[in-house]
Chains A and B, each alone.
Chain A
């Protein structure tokens, strides 16, 4: 069973078709005419439009899997993909959850616990302090971590109870401000210090582990091109402008942490990278949106691998058998308006042309006449370009984006073209500030 919708449901269906595995799709009333419903062997409506009552409706999803005699459930990404309880319920009903063990999902799902665990595995996390009892303790901790620093509320969220501390002279005042604000906001004034990484890069490592203890990495993906709310929009592999030493260290850290927790199936470890230093941020215990770039350069079908691993098959290759070739870039096409703070745009697609030709892959559930419901993620397509070199891949991607036509809703196509054309992206020297600081503020997006 494919417990998801949109392009990832189609992606999983394709892998199943090629493996000769029959599929059952689930859908909400809003997705009745969706492509994933048409392509699956069987399809069941599990609830009304809002995800809480359909794609998150565990009883109806499990009931569907049981009455259609499914063996396994692939959760895709989002929805129930990282819900340890759901994975456990699947097991209780004799259904194989295609992903890591529920205990590992739970362990890595909590950010604080995940950081503690990977530190035990000897992997660097952002340097920081324990909870601070006084401003004196804060001064001692600050001196050992080094400036600039971030004071963060332990109960925090949304930037409240957070202060940037550039040097020692600012610490006392920031400490008083952060504790007072945290107390007022969360009734919990406890704060701690963390090293502030300025203009970091966001690089993640793909891992794959079988149930016999074999774990390999499949290189890294640079996901630094992010919209203001940390949503990725352009990803590439290999990461440009990264020393061989730093790259090797990243891969090694990912393997070390994965081995330590006994990781199985596909997973991704996200790191903040500044220069040659890398700090573990979090782990995603599922297939990622941007997995196709890795598939392109390694010539491996990650979703098929997930299914094979869940079926109890060994990987059948070791790290030394794996070699990446060429360069791949992915652009996410979202139905949203970059000129209007990325407001999601529901509506009907009146005209649709997708690109083709050498080195281009399009993963989408869209078709002309399709209605984009307002309930779900706004991503409507992923365009992936492959080239022997980064330059070839960029040129192909630009060509592919210009071939693409989506009428009826606003999209991020123009924004992606802006990003590809920017000198920072061209040079490969960019970080998470690329869109907020350099693309959105120069007015080019608004001008077009």
Chain B
């Protein structure tokens, strides 16, 4: 049974927005993303000489145990902080497991709820945004504490529709039509826990795959579109950006590998929560490219 988990994202090195978006993409592979807070610029805690932080909170549903989830977060931190030639280099991203279901845990290396939770504005402000239960705690913060947390203007807070979107067969039909109309060899769409891949050839529809055939898809609200091959990722022109709403089929980008361009599509209506990969950068298998909120 999937459990709700809240993860804090923090970055104070390099391109912080890009780091946070990439982290969001990586976190999307640990479960299904339910809500993403705004991004906040926050004053550094402790040493005031440090550059300011970017903070955000993401709510996911996951089947991973708290400890496995923590290990996965550590591994994302490590991979993202990788500096060529430097094995255990500084981290460009901090990921904290804030809450896990209604679990209370007090072990040397894992405390849930996270100790920051009740006192730190940089956690409470974004957390209250994704979960109303924390509004009271946030409102109890002093004005000076709140002043240190400034929302970065971007269209990233999304209302997640509750209703079931189209059925699987309807969506396959849409994809198949897309293939025949656009002379494209293959299209792949991932949503929550399921992936649909339609390949042209024969009757134009050759494969349907559904990961974890639990009935999770009905409650999936933010979809992750992932790379299914290794190559260089490019955004389509005009470049889609955070907050863009779209209807129907939208080509969002393509992956270039071994001289072949494989398009990346999404079926609307939907809105881009985050462009998780960088235009012109290398992407690996399974890397999140876009987070899409379904519905209008």
Chain A residues whose CB sits within 8 angstroms of the CB of B284 once the complex forms: 44-46, 64
Can you name the residue of chain B whose Cβ is closest to the Cβ of A348? Answer: B68
Known contacts A29-B286, A33-B71, A45-B284; is-contact A63 B229 (Cβ 8 Å):
yes
Is B87 a contact of A39 with CB atoms below 8 Å?
Answer: yes
Query: What sequence of 0s and 1s flags, for each residue 187-203 of chain B, a beta carbon within 8 Å of any chain A beta carbon?
Result: 00000000000000000
How far, in whole Å, are A170 and B286 apart by their CA atoms in the complex? 61
How far, in whole Å, are A388 and B216 apart by their CA atoms in the complex? 63
How far, in whole Å, are A39 and B286 apart by their CA atoms in the complex? 21
Q: Give the interface centre of A66, A67, A68 by most chain B CB atoms within 10 Å.
A: A67
Is A67 a contact of B71 with CB atoms below 8 Å?
Answer: no
How far, in whole Å, are A48 and B78 apart by their CA atoms in the complex? 20
Q: Does B282 contact A (CB under 8 A)?
A: yes
Is B85 a contact of A59 with CB atoms below 8 Å?
Answer: no
Can you name the residue of chain A whose Cβ is closest to the Cβ of B83? Answer: A41
Residue in contact with A45 in the complex, picked from B71, B87, B231, B286, CB distance below 8 Å: B286
Chain B residues whose CB sits within 8 angstroms of the CB of A66 once the complex forms: 258
Is A60 a contact of B75 with CB atoms below 8 Å?
Answer: no
Can you name the residue of chain A whose Cβ is closest to the Cβ of B86? Answer: A41
Q: Does B79 contact A (CB under 8 A)?
A: yes
Is A41 a contact of B84 with CB atoms below 8 Å?
Answer: yes
B67-101, CB < 8 A from A: 71-72, 75, 78-79, 82, 84-85, 87
Residue in contact with A43 in the complex, picked from B79, B231, B232, B286, CB distance below 8 Å: B79
Number of residue pairs A-B, CB distance < 8 angstroms: 58
Would you call the interface of chain A mostly helix, strand, loop, or mixed?
A: mixed
Residue in contact with A32 in the complex, picked from B75, B85, B231, B257, CB distance below 8 Å: B75
Residue in contact with A59 in the complex, picked from B71, B72, B84, B257, CB distance below 8 Å: B257
Is B285 a contact of A41 with CB atoms below 8 Å?
Answer: no
Chain A residues whose CB sits within 8 angstroms of the CB of B128 once the complex forms: none
Q: Does A47 contact B (CB under 8 A)?
A: yes
Residue in contact with B285 in the complex, picked from A29, A37, A39, CB distance below 8 Å: A29
Is B231 a contact of A22 with CB atoms below 8 Å?
Answer: no
How far, in whole Å, are A369 and B282 apart by their CA atoms in the complex? 30
Known contacts A45-B287, A46-B285, A369-B71; is-contact A62 B258 (Cβ 8 Å):
yes
Chain A residues whose CB sits within 8 angstroms of the CB of B282 once the complex forms: 44, 67-68
Q: Does B205 contact A (CB under 8 A)?
A: no
Chain A residues whose CB sits within 8 angstroms of the CB of B229 once the complex forms: 59-60, 63
Is B285 a contact of A42 with CB atoms below 8 Å?
Answer: no
Chain B residues whose CB sits within 8 angstroms of the CB of A39 once the complex forms: 87
Q: Chain B, interface size: which category?
A: 20 to 34
Q: Does A85 contact B (CB under 8 A)?
A: no
Q: Does B230 contact A (CB under 8 A)?
A: yes
Known contacts A43-B79, A44-B284; is-contact A63 B258 (Cβ 8 Å):
yes
Is A38 a contact of B287 with CB atoms below 8 Å?
Answer: no
How far, in whole Å, are A369 and B71 apart by their CA atoms in the complex? 10
Chain B residues whose CB sits within 8 angstroms of the CB of A60 once the complex forms: 229-230, 257, 285
How far, in whole Å, are A54 and B285 apart by their CA atoms in the complex? 9
Residue in contact with B257 in the complex, picked from A22, A47, A54, A63, CB distance below 8 Å: A63
How far, in whole Å, are A54 and B258 apart by their CA atoms in the complex? 17
Would you call the interface of chain B mostly helix, strand, loop, or mixed?
A: loop
Is A63 a contact of B231 with CB atoms below 8 Å?
Answer: yes
How far, in whole Å, are A54 and B286 apart by their CA atoms in the complex? 11
How far, in whole Å, are A60 and B285 apart by their CA atoms in the complex? 8
How far, in whole Å, are A54 and B71 apart by their CA atoms in the complex? 23
How far, in whole Å, are A37 and B74 apart by their CA atoms in the complex? 13
How far, in whole Å, are A124 and B283 apart by their CA atoms in the complex? 52
Is B258 a contact of A42 with CB atoms below 8 Å?
Answer: no
A39-86, CB < 8 A from B: 39, 41-48, 54, 59-60, 62-64, 66-68
Chain B residues whose CB sits within 8 angstroms of the CB of A68 once the complex forms: 282
Known contacts A59-B258, A62-B258, A63-B257; is-contact A45 B285 (Cβ 8 Å):
yes
Can you name the residue of chain A whose Cβ is closest to the Cβ of B285? Answer: A45
B185-232, CB < 8 A from A: 229-232
| A349 shortest CB reach to chain B, Å | 13
Can you name the residue of chain B whose Cβ is closest to the Cβ of A66? Answer: B258
Q: Give the interface centre of A22, A29, A59, A63 by most chain B CB atoms within 10 Å.
A: A63
Can you name the residue of chain A whose Cβ is closest to the Cβ of B211? Answer: A48
Query: What sequence of 0s and 1s flags, for each residue 156-195 of chain B, a beta carbon within 8 Å of any chain A beta carbon?
Result: 0000000000000000000000000000000000000000
| A417 shortest CB reach to chain B, Å | 33
Chain A residues whose CB sits within 8 angstroms of the CB of B75 once the complex forms: 32-33
| A253 shortest CB reach to chain B, Å | 42
How far, in whole Å, are A46 and B82 apart by their CA atoms in the complex? 18
A93-145, CB < 8 A from B: none
Can you name the residue of chain B whose Cβ is closest to the Cβ of A93? Answer: B258
Q: Contact residues of B with A, CB < 8 Å?
A: 71-72, 75, 78-79, 82, 84-85, 87, 229-232, 257-258, 282, 284-287
A-B pairs with beta carbons under 8 Å apart, 26 shown: A22-B84, A22-B85, A29-B285, A29-B286, A33-B71, A33-B72, A33-B75, A38-B78, A38-B87, A39-B87, A41-B85, A45-B284, A45-B285, A45-B287, A46-B285, A47-B285, A48-B285, A48-B286, A54-B285, A60-B229, A60-B230, A63-B230, A63-B231, A64-B230, A67-B230, A67-B282
Given contacts A41-B85, A46-B285, A48-B286, 7 further A-B contacts (CB under 8 A): A32-B75, A38-B87, A42-B82, A42-B84, A45-B287, A59-B229, A63-B257
| 3 interchain residue pairs of minimum CB distance | A45-B284, A63-B257, A44-B284
